[in-house]
Amino acid sequence: MLRTRLHALPPPLYRRVRRLWLSIVPIVQCSLAAGIAWWVAVVVFDHPQPFFAPIAAVLSLGLSLGKRWRRSVELVSGVVIGILVGDLLISVIGSGAWQIIVVVALAMAIAVFVDDGPLIPMQAASSAVLVATLLPPGGAGGFHRAIDALIGGLIGILIGALVPVNPAHRARRDAAGLLATMRDAARRLAHGLRDMDEHEVSAALASARGTQEAINTMRADMRGGKEVSAISPLYWSSRERLQRISATADPIDNAVRNFRIIARRALGMTQRGEALDPAIIDILDDVGEAFEVLRAMMIAKPNEEPDQADAARVLRSIARKAKPELVAHSSLSETAVMAEIRSLLIDMLMISGLRRSSAAATLR
């Protein structure tokens, strides 16, 4: 009932509500980590104003799953560098505009020398600016601030482990969304080619071209999911499943790229008035149905259907139709389209769990 009501919302509002819903757990994680980090720094370590602790906790978690360990290390390193440089220099040269220039330049230079991560220089610079402008240097302040940053980073990792995002759910959702986009694009491409409709073929190509951000998100969430399953005891049993899901990242990416090539060649043929063999168009229609099976496979729970074997069975039946003999006497354009379809089928077979050698052998 709730899902139906959500889908009834205007598309812009639906996208915003969905985005908020998918971010609920990371928001809860960041909120808890910030409050707990502040409490630990104040009550346990008796630091009077430990604002670096909640800042570090929030930044170490963020709204994305990817590279949280590295983000925490970069954050703490950047804060420590900025604090030490700021405390040491400002206590000697005083505060002012040119002093800020010197402090920020030196902190960022040291940070870049230490590591090539993007967060360390920015965090070092911002920490140095805070010390140079708002926080009195000297004494134990610099040491306390470094400890606060470490507290925040560790609390962030701890909260990420104890209140985790379901690592498999996010990865499966991303992959299924991409496969659904490719399903619709393949169906649209086949329809456009049957009707020699340049607009439809162009729209199918545009849809495939617009997936790069979704691919990047999928890869990041798959990496983050593996990280969560390694850190959180609640999801240690999901490691093998996450490994299987993550193994589909490259084949999905390659399938999208191959489909773009097919659509681009098909668009050129349509613009020139060249009709594609109806048998090949039927195969593209079948490809759309196969993308739907792969999508259903991706969101199916363990021991539910369709599974990898079901998807591979569907794809093998399509592979048997994609015979080189179909283009034995065809034009170069038609032959090129068939070659790319066969490459696409190899990628799709790999999404279903086959190794590249086994997938390629299916299309010999």
For helices 198-209 and 249-272, angle between their N-to-C axes, nearest 10 degrees: 160
Which of 88-97, 141-150, 221-230, 258-267 ranks highest by mean pLDDT? 258-267
In this prediction, residues 145-173 reach a mean pLDDT of: 78
Token pair of 326, please? 């179909």
Higher-pLDDT residue of 170, 357: 357
The SS3 assignment for 190 reads helix
Rounded distance between C-alpha atoms, residue 101 and residue 333, angstroms: 60
Q: Per-residue pLDDT for 318 more than 80? A: yes
Set out the domains of the chain in order of their start, with CATH numbers: 25-162 (no CATH), 167-362 (1.20.58)
Please calculate the CA angle 225-347-284 and round it to the nearest 5 degrees: 120
How many other C-beta atoms lie within 10 A of the C-beta of residue 59? 23
* Helix extents (H) in the chain: 2-7, 11-22, 24-39, 52-61, 68-93, 97-114, 119-133, 141-162, 167-195, 198-209, 212-231, 239-246, 249-272, 278-299, 308-321, 332-351, 356-362
Tokens 């050698």, residue located: 357
Q: Each residue of 241-251: pLDDT tens digit?
A: 777 888 888 99
Is 258 exposed, middle or buried, given 0-12, 13-18 or 19+ CB atoms closer than 10 A? buried
Q: Per-residue pLDDT for 268 more than 80? A: yes
